[in-house]
Structure 1
Amino acid sequence: MSRGYWRSVQDEVEEAFAAAETRGMCLCVKSDRTKRLLDRRAEAGTVVAPFPHVYARDSYWRSLSPGAQALQVVRAAAALHPAWVFCGTSAAIAHGLQVSEPEPSVVHILDTKGGKGHQSKHVARHRLHADDSEKFEVVAGVKATPLDRTIADCLRTISMPEGLAVADSALRDYGLSREDLAGFVQAQPRARGSRQALQTIGWADGRSENGGESVARGIMIELGFCVPELQVLVEDPSHPGCEFRVDYVWEAGVARPIFGELDGAAKYADRSSAGEKISGKALLAERRRESRLTLCNASIMRFSFEEAKNRPFFKALLERYGVPRRAVPAEMPRDFAV
């Protein structure tokens, strides 16, 4: 193969990558020749291959949040397999719902082959409901289960803290109510996981600002601590009339208020996934805000998303700051009957 021919192939691939990135998706490849070329580049580390026949430039891939990576893979998989209907967390991502720590290399689809479809480490097939065969929507450029079915499926099948992220975003971003979400679940009342789904809905709160905050709150609940007030406005002591928002606040049953703050890294990841760049000025403003909060007569508890997921550490941290325990079952949320 001549050097000139090889260069033309490389240029063709770069143009294809640029076109795919413009469309907000990974590059999907059907040609064996191009696949061999990209497999070699993946071995060299300049390209990633998150899904069979799907590729992305390494620098571009690393600039994306996990949610954006997952959506780009879903779009590429849809281009390779036009008949697929995405469901579960793959459909949730397409609908713009918050999914905690999605696996970009795995897509969830409806099993249209009566349980005979091939499962793999990259494709999870899920059973059809009796009336699902013709029900799907085209959202974010892919076929996906409708919003109501998607929400119900996620709340049934993923953990409560992760489901809380989905439920909170449904309330916040779609203007739905907890009764709406309960209705979605009750449409299939005998489906496995319905009780868990309804209990998750009982804790849902659209005031939660992002998925990381929702998951951390869900872990607090599972550890038995009182549910905090969310996104509380606190006056800046040094500038009367100016206010800050605090992620979590406990005031009842404590000697002085406790302010809980999820480390900014999770928030910045959520904002960057939406295409918003985080400037040095924004980081400086966050540090200034933090210093002003110390003037309030409150305990300020900062923690990262990784620390919240480390349950023994998180439990000890909450106890150390005096976060009150929940009276069970007296303070359990209103449950929706299954």
Structure 2
Amino acid sequence: MSRRHPEWVFAGLTAAAAMNLDYTWSLLNDDRIYVASGAEGRGYTRSEVTTIFVASGETCMTRYVVDGAEVTVRTTTPARTLVDCALRYPFRLVLGMFDSAFCRKIADEESVLGECDRVRADCGPVFRLLHYTDARSENGGESLCRATLIDEGFAVPELQREFVDPANAWNVRRVDFVWHTADGRTIVLEYDGTRKYVDPVMTNRRDIQRVVAEEKSRDDMLLRAGVATVVHVTYDDVVNRGALWGKLTDAGVPQTGPIPFYERG
């Protein structure tokens, strides 16, 4: 599309895809192409193209090599892209974009707030995303999991905490999410994508039985290090909110109470 229309400035989800930001597969159901429409009111009539009004003339250039030839793709800035996606899609589907953009340092809170000043819209969803953005999130799956448990009213966990095996100081394990309860318990949540068990790259070509055995060994080490409960959830558990809610409730994960209506995705 950029080769055919070099004057186009891609925006919204299209720009997020060009920047390789993390987001869930479900957003790909939105198969429209988003293009910025400038202050002069220029629009595009193609049925599959949706325009987003962008008053600022700032753009971002991303270069790709396709079939041996360099292609320059023009997009809205990362900060503007985040704002546009935050205003169009639910919180839980966009948090990964914010996490990954902040992790890669292509956007920050100041730049995002600056874009909020330029748009004529209620930026409450953007402010909520900024509040929960955490650059320590390692991938889009973890971001989706964290966003879902926040949406369901659970306390925000600590991310990427390391535990040391009391029986072997060289044995250090880093976990995805941690909560500390009022009664002194430590609860760990591990997000396990299905690929962990079936993708040869992630399993290092080990069979499933060995992967499961190593997972149990890891859990045993965490229990020795003082963790009271280790919860494992999969992508399917996260998509099926009831399954995630049930596991966290059974484990006694702290809850924070109701979330304001406008923040629920």
Shared fold per TM-score greater than 0.5: yes
SS at match of 1:103: helix
CA shift, 1:282, in A, is 10
Q: Taking every aligned residue pair, what percent have the same amino acid on both sides?
A: 28
User: Which residue of structure 2 aligns with residue 195 of structure 1?
Assistant: 124
| Structure 1 position 108 matched with structure 2 position 33 | yes
- Distance verdict in 2 for CA 1:167–1:148, change over 3 Å: same
For structure 2, list consecutive stretches of 5 or more residues without a partner in the other structure.
Answer: 65-72, 261-265
- Distance verdict in 2 for CA 1:287–1:91, change over 3 Å: farther
**Structure (1/2) with the larger helix percentage:** 1
Q: Which has the higher contact order (CA 8 A, sep 6+)?
A: 2
CA shift, 1:307, in A, is 1.1
| Structure 1 position 126 matched with structure 2 position 51 | yes
Whole-angstrom distance in 1 between the partners of 2:193 and 2:236 = 12
CA shift, 1:255, in A, is 5.0
User: Which residue of structure 1 aligns with residue 171 of structure 2?
Assistant: 242
User: Which residue of structure 2 aligns with residue 170 of structure 1?
Assistant: 101
Deviations 1:180-229 (A, max 9, x none): 433332332x22x5111111111111111111111111111111110110
Runs of 4+ in 1 over 4 A off after TM superposition: 111-116, 266-269, 281-287
Deviations 1:118-159 (A, max 9, x none): 32xxx3412322344xx4332144121122211221222221
RMSD: 3.1
Whether the 8 Å CA contact 1:294–1:300 is kept in 2: the answer is no
SS at match of 1:226: coil
CA shift, 1:260, in A, is 0.3
SS at match of 2:194: helix
User: Which residue of structure 1 aligns with residue 113 of structure 2?
Assistant: 182
For structure 1, list consecutive stretches of 5 or more residues without a partner in the other structure.
Answer: 1-76, 333-338
Letter in 2 for 1:89: L
Whole-angstrom distance in 2 between the partners of 1:239 and 1:292 = 13
Whole-angstrom distance in 2 between the partners of 1:247 and 1:254 = 22
Aligned length: 243
**Structure (1/2) with the larger strand percentage:** 2
Letter in 2 for 1:291: S
User: Which residue of structure 2 aligns with residue 149 of structure 1?
Assistant: 80
How high is the TM-score relative to the length of structure 1?
A: 0.63
User: Which residue of structure 1 aligns with residue 219 of structure 2?
Assistant: 293
Whole-angstrom distance in 2 between the partners of 1:266 and 1:254 = 35
